Amino acid sequence: MADLNTPVRYLKGIGEKKALALNKLGVFSLYDLISFFPRKYEDRSRICPIAAAPEGEGVCIRAMVADVPRLSRIRLGMDLVKLRAVDDSGSVDITFFNQSYAKDNLHRGESYNFFGRMEFKGGRRCMANPVYEPVERAGQVTGRIVPVYRLSSGLNQRSIMQAVRQGLDCCLETLPDALPEDVRRRCRLAQVRYAYENIHFPPDFEALELARRRLIFEELFVLSCALGSMHRQRSRDEGIRLRPVDMDRFWASLPFRPTQAQLRAVGQAAEDMCSGAVMNRLIQGDVGSGKTLAAAALIWLCAENGYMSAFMAPTEILAQQHYDTLSSMLSPFGLRVGKLTGSMGAREKRLIKAQLQKGELDLIIGTHALFSQDVEYSKLALVVTDEQHRFGVNQRSALISKGGRPHVLVMSATPIPRTLALIIYGDLDISVIDQLPPGRQKVDTFAVDESYRARLNGFIRKQVQEGRQVFVVCPMVEENEELNIKLKSAQEHAAQLSALFPDMKVACIHGKMKAKDKDDTMSAFVAGDIQILVATTVIEVGVDVPNASLMIVENADRFGLSQLHQLRGRVGRGQHKSYCILVSDNDSPEVKSRLNIMCKTGDGFKISEEDLRLRGPGDFFGSRQHGLPEMHVADLGADVNVLQQAQEESRRLLESDPGLQLPEHRILRDKVEQLYKANSAGFN
């Protein structure tokens, strides 16, 4: 019996080279090895009659070798073993390239399981390089469900499989169970040993599902416990206690009435800030739901109390835009608003910093320059940030060291279903603005294929001639992308449009550009100097260009619904009638129905519910926008029920044992602490 921390090198068959190859996959210890879950599975459990094997698919057959295998050299360094195998239904020609040992392993008159891809050539069935096992000893690589692992060079499936098998055999017994027994029973989850065995080597799909469910639950449960205990910890932290102020004085100054949802969110946040504890609240609301206004109300509340606020934006342009809007909302009340960004001149910066230190400003808006070392605040009560800037631990302590313990308000424009929000943002209190201000125009949305290209180009021309601007979004081309999928790359597409519309200014913006160049291009678009902006998803973040009226998304099937919704939110922000065109040549019914949802509804929450239903939460977890640790769950695919249960159970547990102090929760507490440690930079 070996220890879970034993290096993989200890295993039979794992020499120095293979150990290094495993290290490359993040596998160092035996525990890492057995936690290295398969990427997918191949069903080799069903034996198919030769005559019934479909062409081009991997099948498992059981057949007798009908003649003596023949070895021949085709050319230098290339040899070939050929044989014929038969079953009751027919025969197949089997060939092995450069596996001369097959000649000695396979014997005439004996039966084997073969797994390989069945091909038809000249009216005959054939199979090249199948894996095989004698029938009496079958059950390792044929006749069962076989795991498929991620590989690195120097490893093949068989060697990983054998290593995992050994790993399980020598340490499964010592594997501790992090789930409390009563939770496991109540949720009808498999035991940890069963789960680890069957996620690798399931005898059938039922066992696999039981294993998968248990592991997903555990991961989400540990995460929920971590978030939940942070939440508990924080809500005990003492914060600046504000005096309640009648908010109607602020609302009355507006040219319109706040929505019920805005009032509710502001009310909840104001209550936090007057409670004496530190606020950590997320305001979630669709694009255009009026989050900035809600923030403005709270900034005003702080100013009425004699405190200042800081508003952090992810880019210079956004800082500028927020500066403009917030100044116009707040200066009528005499609030003093300043701006601090990296690109400002040294003199200007010095001036602002001096004002901050002396407490001469009520609101400062800026990029992360706001938290550089030499900035000092006087009487800072509120920090408003974008969801992309959920603070890491380091930033948080930088903030705290800047005096006081400011309240934190995070704003998110990504509507996500409640269940998921509770997991992803479990450490924050959540307010939802689920209502748009009255009189919003709907963005007309259409899903089209390539046959509309000419009309689409005509439509671009028409919009630009009317003085409008156009966004075109192309999917990010991944470096490891298979070459046979034809994707529009932003740069190529921009060149084409540029040739097509020589009288217009076309520009391209993509992830590999320097931040400064991106900002410059974006500013030129905001200023109206560019008519057509071709981009990868970098424009998702909330830049406001009221004159843009047309959003075209190329290869729209490559985007998640929530992402498409974010993109669509870039238009329809001014008084002009706006359109969103989703271009895709993929005519699978699944894609069509997804894109159709976009055409039918403009409600971000509804769309994200659909996204969750259709694609599972993997996409939400996978997008890594939330600052959470990377999870296996995204690979395994969780379902909504498991998500909900894990959340409920973690809450129940923390209520009965808030610090996870009980001895039976020790393993769980260790896991929660590991999660903190491993993620102390990004995970707040």
Q: Which is nearer to ligand ADP, 116 or 542 (CB)?
A: 542
From candidates 166, 259, 536, 608, binder to ligand ADP by CB under 6 A: 259
Q: In the beta sheet, which residues pair with residue 383?
A: 310, 408
The span from the CA of 487 to the CA of 208, in Å, is 35
Q: Which is nearer to Mg ion, 292 or 395 (CB)?
A: 292
> Is residue 321 within the footprint of Mg ion (CB under 5 A)?
no
Q: How far is the CB of 313 from Mg ion (least distance, A)?
A: 10
Q: Which is nearer to ligand ADP, 197 or 544 (CB)?
A: 544
> Is residue 437 within the footprint of ligand ADP (CB under 6 A)?
yes
Q: How far is the CB of 259 from ligand ADP (least distance, A)?
A: 5
Give residue number: closest CB to Mg ion: 292
Residue 293: contacted member of ligand ADP, Mg ion, none (CB under 5 to 8 Å, by partner type)? ligand ADP
Q: In the beta sheet, which residues pair with residue 339?
A: 365
Dump strand ranges (E) for 368-455: 380-386, 407-412, 429-433, 444-448
Q: Scanning the structure block, which residue is given the tokens 């974010």?
A: 566
- The alpha carbon of 309 is separated from its chain's Cα centroid by a whole number of angstroms, namely 31
Q: Which is nearer to Mg ion, 224 or 292 (CB)?
A: 292
The span from the CA of 646 to the CA of 620, in Å, is 17
From candidates 7, 49, 90, 288, binder to ligand ADP by CB under 6 A: 288
Of 434, 53, 50, which Cα lies nearest the Cα of 259?
434
Tokens standing for residue 659: 């610090």
Q: Which is nearer to ligand ADP, 83 or 269 (CB)?
A: 269
CA dihedral sign of residues 418, 421, 423, 427: negative
> Is residue 566 within the footprint of Mg ion (CB under 5 A)?
no
Other Cβ atoms less than 10 A from the Cβ of 532: the count is 24
Q: How far is the CB of 544 from ligand ADP (least distance, A)?
A: 7
> Is residue 142 within the footprint of Mg ion (CB under 5 A)?
no
Dump strand ranges (E) for 294-428: 308-312, 337-340, 363-366, 380-386, 407-412
From candidates 44, 213, 214, 291, binder to ligand ADP by CB under 6 A: 291
Burial code of 415-436, b = ≥16 C-beta within 10 A, e = fewer? bbbebbbbbbbbbbbbbbbbeb
Q: Which is nearer to ligand ADP, 170 or 413 (CB)?
A: 413
The span from the CA of 276 to the CA of 274, in Å, is 6
Q: Which is nearer to ligand ADP, 259 or 555 (CB)?
A: 259
The span from the CA of 190 to the CA of 616, in Å, is 22
The span from the CA of 465 to the CA of 531, in Å, is 10
> Is residue 574 within the footprint of ligand ADP (CB under 6 A)?
no
Tokens standing for residue 288: 């255009």
Residue 288: contacted member of Mg ion, ligand ADP, none (CB under 5 to 8 Å, by partner type)? ligand ADP
From candidates 143, 239, 258, 560, binder to ligand ADP by CB under 6 A: 258
> Per-residue string for binding with Mg ion, 571-610, x by CB under 5 A?
----------------------------------------
> In the sheet where 280-285 sits, what is the strand order?
337-340, 363-366, 308-312, 380-386, 407-412, 280-285, 429-433
Residue 183: contacted member of ligand ADP, Mg ion, none (CB under 5 to 8 Å, by partner type)? none
Q: Which helix (H) or strand (E) holds 86?
A: strand 78-86
From candidates 29, 259, 262, 292, binder to Mg ion by CB under 5 A: 292
* Subset of 101-160 contacting ligand ADP (CB under 6 A): none
> Is residue 290 within the footprint of ligand ADP (CB under 6 A)?
yes
Who contacts 475 (Cβ-Cβ below 8 Å, separation ≥6)?
A: 487, 488, 536, 537, 554, 555, 558, 559
The span from the CA of 282 to the CA of 409, in Å, is 6
From candidates 293, 382, 533, 595, binder to ligand ADP by CB under 6 A: 293
Q: How far is the CB of 617 from ligand ADP (least distance, A)?
A: 24
Residue 285: contacted member of ligand ADP, Mg ion, none (CB under 5 to 8 Å, by partner type)? ligand ADP
Give residues in contact with Mg ion (CB under 5 A).
Answer: 292, 542
Give residues in contact with ligand ADP (CB under 6 A).
Answer: 256, 258-259, 262, 285, 287-293, 413, 437
